Structure 1
Amino acid sequence: MATSDKNTISLSEFYEENLYRLQDGVLNIVKNCGTPLYLTGGTALSRAYYRHRYSDDLDFFVNNDNSFNQYVDAVLDGLRKAGYDWSVETGFVKSPDFRTLVLRHPDFQMGLKLDFVNDVAAHYGEITETDLFYRTDSVRNILSNKVTAIFRMSAKDIVDIHRICLNEKFEWREVFEEVREKELGVEPLDVSQVMQGITQAAFESIKWKCGLTFAEFKRDIDMIAADMLCLKDNGLNDRSMK
């Protein structure tokens, strides 16, 4: 769907009645393929756990699995048989541990970006069954992945880290120990500076499902940054529970 078309209908109509139906069809096919791929990232967080924003893409991971490409090929074969298609000319990337493509179906006007990743071996928390998908990543692992991605961190990642901090109890010292198992050189100072650098324009670009002002959000981010720098317990969850 073109951007102009998307702007003529409400966000809820675009996502709930269109894109999320497209996502659900894909999730059902991936489930039926029976691979160990699990759903992670922003869509897992926003649709399975917190429902704080709308999310566009589907991210499927395994960890250090030599059969990764066989799993992806099986899923793509299932999707093709169900009438889905994609271009290898536009939006398609393939490497030994990564595959990305933009999926299309004749019943839907918009495309759906799929990412498949054979991630590092380190994984934290349990993969669980949710109402969204039978193999959904843990919030803890999603958190460490988002912190690990500091040098490509987007406003959506900062918003997601904020939402995790509102809802979960954890210690930043432990989170950064986990992060360093995945990526060396990620330091609390760097992450806190990136998070505190979010602009109001970036905040307002988020497709929110919940009400939150930028002033409230920025106050919370400053608290997260302070806790992160001191490797303390996540204080935002304690405050939100009062």
Structure 2
Amino acid sequence: HKDSYFGDYIQKITDSLIDNNFKVKPYGISSTFATFHIFDNKGKSKKKLNLDFINEKSSVHFGDYYSSGKFSKIDNMRNILSNKISIISRQEPKDIADIWFICKNLDFRWEDIIYEAGEKRLVEEIFVVECLRTFQFEKLSNIKWIKPVNIENFKPDCDIIIENIITKSENKLFTKKMET
């Protein structure tokens, strides 16, 4: 389900950011997705934050929302991960990168994540494994990373994710030291 007010929400968010002295550069906007690069201090700072918004309404949500500053409803990493798994068929490099990053930073069991993704959209464990196994990792070089990332780490880490999904085990990347 798509939210017909998506464009209005995006406009309110960008207006608020601009009103609070942030420079907002649209990177990609459509009726289903919007990406922005946000710069502090009206663009004088080289520090950049990427914001992604997806227009996908789901009646299924896992975990709580949290707030930070002016943002009153921020999703949690676990729910974002189950969302990414539920749309893995898109084979988007950013989705794969997000899955990898969340796995590096969140303790969970894959059996639970696959179940939660399946509650949102029909997702089979074997399909998720096949999407990860056949992903073309060279596409990750098209991502504009904030900090350089060693793309060589993705394939072996993805193999660990695949093994964890198949064995329905805990996320073993979480205990691994973050190497970017």
Fold in common (TM above 0.5): yes
Aligned-pair CA distance for 1:203: 1.8
Do 2:86 and 2:117's aligned partners in 1 also have CA atoms closer than 8 Å?
yes
- Identity percentage over the alignment? 27
Do 2:108 and 2:171's aligned partners in 1 also have CA atoms closer than 8 Å?
yes
Aligned-pair CA distance for 1:139: 0.6
1:229 alignment counterpart:
166
Do 1:139 and 1:164's aligned partners in 2 also have CA atoms closer than 8 Å?
yes
Aligned partner of 1:174 among 109, 112, 118? 112
Aligned partner of 1:122 among 60, 64, 79? 60
Q: Distance in 2 between matches of 1:180 and 1:220?
A: 23
**Residues 203 and 100 from structure 1, CA distance in 2 versus in 1: closer, same or farther, beyond 3 angstroms?**
closer
Do 2:110 and 2:170's aligned partners in 1 also have CA atoms closer than 8 Å?
yes
Q: Distance in 2 between matches of 1:200 and 1:75?
A: 31
**Residues 179 and 74 from structure 1, CA distance in 2 versus in 1: closer, same or farther, beyond 3 angstroms?**
closer
Do 1:144 and 1:178's aligned partners in 2 also have CA atoms closer than 8 Å?
yes
Do 1:166 and 1:237's aligned partners in 2 also have CA atoms closer than 8 Å?
yes
TM-score (norm 1): 0.53
- Letter matched to residue 75 of structure 2: D
Do 2:137 and 2:154's aligned partners in 1 also have CA atoms closer than 8 Å?
no
- Is 1:138 matched up with 2:76? yes
**Residues 229 and 74 from structure 1, CA distance in 2 versus in 1: closer, same or farther, beyond 3 angstroms?**
closer
Aligned-pair CA distance for 1:127: 0.9
Gapped runs of 5+ residues in structure 1? 1-63, 83-90, 94-98
Taking CA–CA contacts closer than 8 Å with sequence separation of 6 or more, which of the two structures ends up with the larger relative contact order? 1
* Number of corresponding residues: 156
Gapped runs of 5+ residues in structure 2? 19-28, 37-41, 44-50
Do 1:146 and 1:153's aligned partners in 2 also have CA atoms closer than 8 Å?
no
- Computed over aligned residues only, the root mean square deviation of the Cα atoms, in angstroms, reads 3.6
1:162 alignment counterpart:
100
- Letter matched to residue 159 of structure 1: A
